[in-house]
Amino acid sequence: MTERNRELAYLIAVSGLTVVGFASVYIARRAVISWGSLGYAGFFIALYLTAHLIVRRTVPNADPYLLPMAGFLTAIGLTEIYRLGPADAFKQGLWIVVGLVFFAAALIGLRRDYRVLESYKYLFGIGTIALLFLPRLPGLGTTVNGARLWVHLGPFEFQPGELAKITLVIFLAAYLRENREVLAQGRLKEFGPLLLIWGGTMLVLVATNDTGSGLLYYGTFLALLYIATARLSYVVAGIVLMLAGGYAIVRAVPHIAERVTIWLHPWTTYKVFCPSTGTYLLRQDCQSYQVVKSLYSIANGGWLGAGLGKGTFTTPSGQPLIPYVNTDFIYSALAQELGLIGVSALLLVFMLFVARGMKIALQVDDGFSKLLAAGLTFGFALQTFIIVGGILRIIPLTGITLPFVSYGGSSVVANFLVLAGLLLVSDRANAQR
């Protein structure tokens, strides 16, 4: 079987799962939803078959597992988003179309040689900062949940930070490829542009309060620096710097200090000051409300889960149990409905995706491609860890989307571009053989 036919076979399997998923939601929630749910499954299958045809035309030698895995994650996300609120699933569907357009554009535009991106590295570096600055502009940005991350353009809202993670990886891959030998020697002068761009990025992040993305960029930066220079001491120094910086930020920014408190002590038996109401409440009824309700949701899943469509996400008075359940907390919803077995399988797909991405980085022969593939893949893994680890209280919770699964237009588009990038690199790696 050729690589593309294999991809098609996996996509058909994923399509079957998608139909089963939407059918379960329909059966469980007949009271509130219509047959339309099965239309979503059909729509979804059509989109991924289109993506497959584009891949077949543009990158025929690419890895056959990445697209079906991305399809699987998107399908689970769309099913759960649909289950939580059919209106959001419609918007998500539209964003998947937009993401697909960007995906096709990237594959068609860069199919001959994506390495032209290397020559525009400073453009990408400056572009990263520009993207991150957009929400700070008056009239354009809005503050959601204490962080200023969104840009509104008419009816569209967009989170530029999601795209910045890609432009940053392109910049770092190109810059590090060019300067890796000198950087490995440790000459301070060569770190100049790198530190400059980096310092700027961190500054913007502190200004927008988006610690989750900050951690993601910093972690990706350290991973690529290590791959390029093979100097573990840089990583150690970087982590020490981050801990020191983190400590300073926690001391200085109340919004972030609060997150650490919530992480360490989500439950109190005595009342503490609640800034949002101005009164004294138990912490689980105020600051850590979301974290605690999300843990209850996960715990309720148990081994097998309640079943798709059978979980509880509404209080008896009709209020949503977990705020932002379909973006930051979609994992808590999935854990309740799919149970330990279901979400472990989901995490296994994330791991396989990472393994394939890293394999591509190992196989391809030029430095830029290696750094690009490894950077995109590591960013994907780290983003997953930051949000799910935050939900599970491994680390303090910082709002960020779960790749491919969460609701959110910018996230969908960005993840399709990550996928396109990995397919381009893998096509090149396999074509060389």
Partner 1 sequence: MNRQISRVAIVALILLASLVVATTYWQTWASGGLAAREDNEIQVVAQLEIKRGLIYASDGKTVLAADVKRKVDGQTLYYRVYPTHGFASQTIGYATQSYGRAGIERQEDAYLTASDENIGTILDTLGARLRGTTITGNNLVLNLNVKAQDLAQSLLQGTCGAVVALNPKTGAVYAMASSPTYNTNLIQSSKGFAKIEKIHSPCAPESASPLLNRATQALAPPGSTFKTITAAAALDDHVYTPDSTFYDPGYCTEYGKEVHNALDQSTPEAYGEVNLIEAYEHSINAVFCNIGIKLGAQRILDEAKKFGFYSTPPLETPSAERSPSGCYKGTKLYDPKDADTAVDPGRLAFGQACMLATPLQMALVAAAIANNGKIPVPHLVKEVEKPGGGVIMKTHPQTWRVATTPQTAAAIGNMMVEVVQGGTGTEAQIPGVEVAGKTGTAELCANCTTYDAWFIFFAPANDPVVAGAVLVERQLNGFGGAVAAPIARQIMQALLPPTSNSQP
Among 2, 277, 279, 344, binds partner 1 (CB under 8 A): 344
Q: Examine residue 316 and tell whether it contacts partner 1 (CB under 8 A).
A: yes
151's enclosing H/E stretch is strand 147-153
Q: Examine residue 141 and tell whether it contacts partner 1 (CB under 8 A).
A: no
Site string for partner 1, 382-411 (x = CB under 8 A): x-xx--xx--xxx-----------------
Mark the segment that binds partner 1 (CB under 8 A) among 15-23, 69-77, 243-251, 332-340. Answer: 332-340
How far is the C-alpha of 89 from the C-alpha of 82, rounded, in Å?
5
Six-digit token string for 370? 């290696």
Mark the segment that binds partner 1 (CB under 8 A) among 108-116, 191-199, 207-215, 331-339. Answer: 331-339
Q: Examine residue 426 and tell whether it contacts partner 1 (CB under 8 A).
A: no
Q: Examine residue 126 and tell whether it contacts partner 1 (CB under 8 A).
A: no
Backbone angles phi, psi at 50, to 5 degrees: -60, -50
How far is the C-alpha of 49 from the C-alpha of 235, rounded, in Å?
42
Q: Which of 161, 160, 159, 175 is nearest to 125 (CA)?
A: 175
How far is the C-alpha of 128 from the C-alpha of 282, rounded, in Å?
41
Work out how close the CB of 273 gets to partner 1 at its nearest, in angstroms, rounded to a whole number: 18
Considering beta carbons, is residue 107 or 286 the nearer one to partner 1? 286
Q: Which long-range contacts (CB under 8 A, 24 or more apart) does 96-101 make?
A: 96/44, 96/47, 96/412, 97/47, 98/409, 98/412, 98/413, 99/412, 99/413, 99/415, 99/416, 100/47, 100/50, 100/51, 100/416
Work out how close the CB of 431 gets to partner 1 at its nearest, in angstroms, rounded to a whole number: 19
Considering beta carbons, is residue 267 or 280 the nearer one to partner 1? 267
Among 339, 399, 409, 421, binds partner 1 (CB under 8 A): 339
Are 111 and 59 in contact by the 8 Å Cβ rule? The answer is yes
DSSP 414: H
- Residues from 255 through 284 that contact partner 1 (CB under 8 A): 267, 282, 284
Q: Examine residue 370 and tell whether it contacts partner 1 (CB under 8 A).
A: yes
* E strand spans, 35-115: none
Are 402 and 384 in contact by the 8 Å Cβ rule? The answer is yes
Please list the helix, strand and coil fractions of the chain in percent, rounded to the nearest 5, in that order.
Answer: 70, 5, 25
Residues forming a β-bridge with 151 = 141, 158
Among 268, 272, 300, 324, binds partner 1 (CB under 8 A): 300
Q: Please tell me the count of residues contacting partner 1 according to CB under 8 A.
A: 64
Among 381, 400, 417, 423, binds partner 1 (CB under 8 A): 381
Q: Examine residue 314 and tell whether it contacts partner 1 (CB under 8 A).
A: yes
Q: Examine residue 33 and tell whether it contacts partner 1 (CB under 8 A).
A: yes
List of residues contacting partner 1 (CB under 8 A): 28-29, 31-33, 223, 226-228, 230, 267, 282, 284-285, 292-293, 295-303, 310, 312-318, 321, 335-336, 339-340, 343-344, 347-348, 350-351, 354-355, 358, 361-362, 367, 370-371, 374, 377-378, 381-382, 384-385, 388-389, 392-394
